[in-house]
Structure 1
Amino acid sequence: MVFSAIADPKLLARFDEWLGNLSAFLRLGISSVLGIGKDEYTLEFRPYGQGVLIPPSPAAPPHEVGLMTLVSAATQEVATDIARYCNPVLLHFPLNADDPLPSFAFPFSPAEVELGRQYEFKLNHVVHLDRPDQLSRLVIETTGEAARG
C-alpha cells in the first residue's frame, strides 16, 4: 500500500482523467520495466476526499485528495516491488506530458507499507420468501396511559 496526498487545483479539477492516465502509465511500466504480467497482480486506487467539498459545491473540485494505492500479488515480494515502482510516479505524475513535474506528499517514509496476506470475505445468501416480512417479526409493546386502559 502506498498513500499519497494531492492538493494541486489544476489536477484535482480533472482528477478522473489524471487517475486514468496514471493507471495506464503504471500498468505499462509494471509490464515493460518489471516484466510482471497483468494477470500476476492487481492494482487498485482508492481516492479519499474526492466527494468532500469545503465549502460544499457540486461544481468545485476538492481541495485535497488522499490516494490509497493497493497492490496485491501472489507474494509479498512481488507486491512490494510493484509498490516501490509506483512510488516515484505517485509522487510526481503530471496531468499532461508537457507540464512541469508536480510534487505530491507521502505521509510517511518509506512510502510503501507491507500489509501482508489479505483476505476477502464474501457472503451471498439468497432466500426466497412468500411475504416480504417473513424473516422479521413485529412486536408491539404498549406503555404508559394506553397500557392501563
Structure 2
Amino acid sequence: MHHAQRPGHPEDALPHIPEDAIPYIAEGPPFVLGAPRRPSRIAGPWQLPGNPAACRRARVAVRGILADWDLEHHTHTAELLVSELVGNALLHAGGPLHLSVQHSHLLRCQVEDGSNRLPRLRSAAPDDEHGRGLELVHLMSRDWGVEYTARGKTVWFELD
C-alpha cells in the first residue's frame, strides 16, 4: 500500500498514481470524489536523464502538455516548480527519475525518484547557495507532498 504524506503532516493521504500509469495522455473519471464531472487527464510518466539536462526536458514536457490542455496560465509556475523538484532529485535522491502530470480540477505535477528519504523544507540563510527550492514549491503551490512508491518516492505539487 502506498501512503501520501506532506512532510510533517502524515494524516494528509492522497490518491496514488499507479506505477503502471499509461505513458501518454489518458482520459478517465475524476480522481477526486465529489469533483465536477470533468475528465481526468494524465501525461507521462516520462523518464528523465540522471544529469542536469533532466531539468530542461521536464520543463519542455510540462510546457508542451499544458499547451495541449489549454492550461498555459500555469506554464511559468509549473516549469519553475518542476525544475526545483527535478533538481532536488538529482542532487539528493538518485535512481531513475520520472515526471507525470495530471489534471482534473487541479493540476498535479510529480517527480518520482529512487530514494525513500523525505525532502526537507528549510529556510536558507541569505548567503546559502542551496535550500530555497522546496520553499518555492511550498509558497507557490496550492499544496505539495511526498508519496512513497515501491521504487522510492514521488514528490508532487498542485496548482489551482
TM-score range for the pair, normalised by the shorter chain length: 0.3 to 0.5
* Structure ID, larger Rg: 1
- Structure of greater relative contact order (alpha carbons < 8 Å, 6+ residues apart): 1
TM-score, normalised with respect to structure 2: 0.31
As a proportion of its length, which structure holds more strand?
A: 2
